[in-house]
Amino acid sequence: MITQLSPKVIPANERLIFALDVPDLSSAKRMVDALGEAVTFYKIGLELFMSGSYFELIDWLGTQNKRIFCDLKFFDVPETVARAVRQLQNRGVDFVTVHGNDTMLEAAAAQKNGLRILAVTVLTSLDRSDLDALGFRCDVEDLVLSRARKALRLGCDGVISSGLEAKRLRADLGDRFLVVSPGIRPVDNRPEDDQKRVVSVEQAFCNGADYIVVGRPIKHATDPRAAAEKIQSTISSLFKS
């Protein structure tokens, strides 16, 4: 297998981001406590945002020395996006997602002030038929690459992209930006899974991803901590010096 392992200096244990998709603050804290040192980087999204304890959770994760990825996919008029990004400054947040057009991405990038802005390319829950229904008649890889080029030109720090497209991104755009890949499935997809464009841990990193986002394969495991540790072991073996 030809690999394009990320050359960036990133601690191996931080390359795994756990999707903390739970309904409330107490559930989030229990999960973080259960995972312990097996996970150091957490993605928190809309479900927890709507719980009303989002910023309390951000502050608590900071006290636990965890890294934080705010996955809110800002999509609004540019000034509103800019103001939303400013609300996350000076809170210890590492990554923020924006899912919008050029002016929204540019507005977010202008306000990052230490945050790293990640542009969403094509959601991993969408496949070819979904894109057709949305009116996108181009190839998925071409669409991802086009959006990535624009995002980098506008000042974003990286993109959210399936590991399937990571190889093409690296081949065309090099290593100067971050690729964060969700849709990671260490085991076969379950019928109820809503992720469609999926890859394994090894495939994502060998295609050039810097980070992977894993949720259900850890959350729904019989032993979530053991599941996370197994993924960490795989990552460590890939990036051993």
What is the pLDDT, as a whole number, of residue 141?
72
Residue 157 counted as domain residue: yes
CATH number at 106 reads 3.20.20.70
> Is pLDDT of 100 > 90?
no
What is the pLDDT, as a whole number, of residue 67?
98
Q: How much is the mean pLDDT over the chain?
A: 88
pLDDT in tens, 18-54: 999 999 999 999 999 999 999 999 999 999 999 999 9
Residue 110 counted as domain residue: yes
What is the pLDDT, as a whole number, of residue 129?
60
Residue 81 counted as domain residue: yes
240 is catalytic: no
In the set 29, 66, 73, 167, the catalytic residue is 73
pLDDT in tens, 139-197: 667 787 888 999 999 999 999 988 888 999 999 999 999 999 998 876 544 444 455 55
- CA-nearest of 114, 79, 78 to 96 is 114
- Model confidence, pTM: 0.90
Residue 169 counted as domain residue: yes
What is the pLDDT, as a whole number, of residue 138?
58
Residue 191 counted as domain residue: yes
What domain range is 114 assigned to?
Answer: 15-233
Residue 3 counted as domain residue: no
Residue 23 counted as domain residue: yes
Q: Please tell me the total count of domains within the chain.
A: 1
User: For every residue of the chain, which 3-state class applies, written as one string?
Assistant: CCCCCCCCCCCHHHCEEEECCCCCHHHHHHHHHHHHHHCCEEEECHHHHCCCCHHHHHHHHHHCCCEEEEEEEECCCHHHHHHHHHCCCCCCCCEEEECCCHHHHHHHHHCCCCCEEEEECCCCCCCHHHHHHHCCCCCHHHHHHHHHHHHHHCCCCEEECCHHHHHHHHHHHCCCCEEEECCECCCCCCCCCCCCCCECHHHHHHCCCCEEEECHHHHCCCCHHHHHHHHHHHHHHHCCC
Residue 158 counted as domain residue: yes
